[in-house]
Structure 1
């Protein structure tokens, strides 16, 4: 399965999910969390931050999201975490 960088305008693909996450963290501009102001890598790690550090309600309010946005991001987190070697990602970063 090929993994595509989902950051707008990129579209680069990778064979491993770990390479995709590392690419997002190292090749794209970091983003400021609209809930707490923490600067985090874009992509998966930004989504993981907001969904582990903040409530769904905080996310919805801060990002103008709706229930479909929440579901889409929760599904993405699950899909990645089911197959990713998080230790390998940490070591590469």
Structure 2
């Protein structure tokens, strides 16, 4: 089974389940502010998801001074997580643990 590694600020913690990684990112790391719109949200998967579902690639590139390679890497992370994760479980765990995320 693949191990999932938290890459936020060199955290490096690994998890057997992607759902555990996402919950860790949302609860154990500080929230970040979207450089495009100012929304404050959990770092990691939720920040990547927000960036690519709420904003265009061009907005992301301008706001984060990102390269095409960095954009593709984050889009790939989002796609892989969404193909593997039970996001309903993640939401249920986060809502049950803190009421919101």
Would you call these one fold, judging by a TM-score over 0.5? Answer: yes
In the alignment, which residue of structure 1 is the partner of 2:17?
Answer: 16
C-alpha RMSD over aligned residues: 0.5
In the alignment, which residue of structure 1 is the partner of 2:57?
Answer: 56
**What TM-score results when the alignment is normalised by the length of structure 1?**
0.98
Counterparts of residues 71-82 of structure 1 (less than 5 Å)? 71-82=72-83
Counterparts of residues 35-50 of structure 1 (less than 5 Å)? 35-50=36-51
**What TM-score results when the alignment is normalised by the length of structure 2?**
0.90
In the alignment, which residue of structure 2 is the partner of 1:86?
Answer: 87
Q: CA deviation at 1:11?
A: 0.5
Provide the rounded CA distance (Å) in 2 between the counterparts of 1:64 and 1:40.
20
In the alignment, which residue of structure 1 is the partner of 2:35?
Answer: 34
Structure 1, unaligned runs of 5 or more: none
Provide the rounded CA distance (Å) in 1 between the counterparts of 2:73 and 2:18.
17
The number of residues matched between the two structures is 93
* Secondary structure of residue in 2 paired with 1:8: helix
Deviations 1:22-71 (A, max 9, x none): 00000000000000000010001100001100000000000000100110
Structure 2, unaligned runs of 5 or more: 95-101
In the alignment, which residue of structure 2 is the partner of 1:69?
Answer: 70
Provide the rounded CA distance (Å) in 1 between the counterparts of 2:82 and 2:20.
14
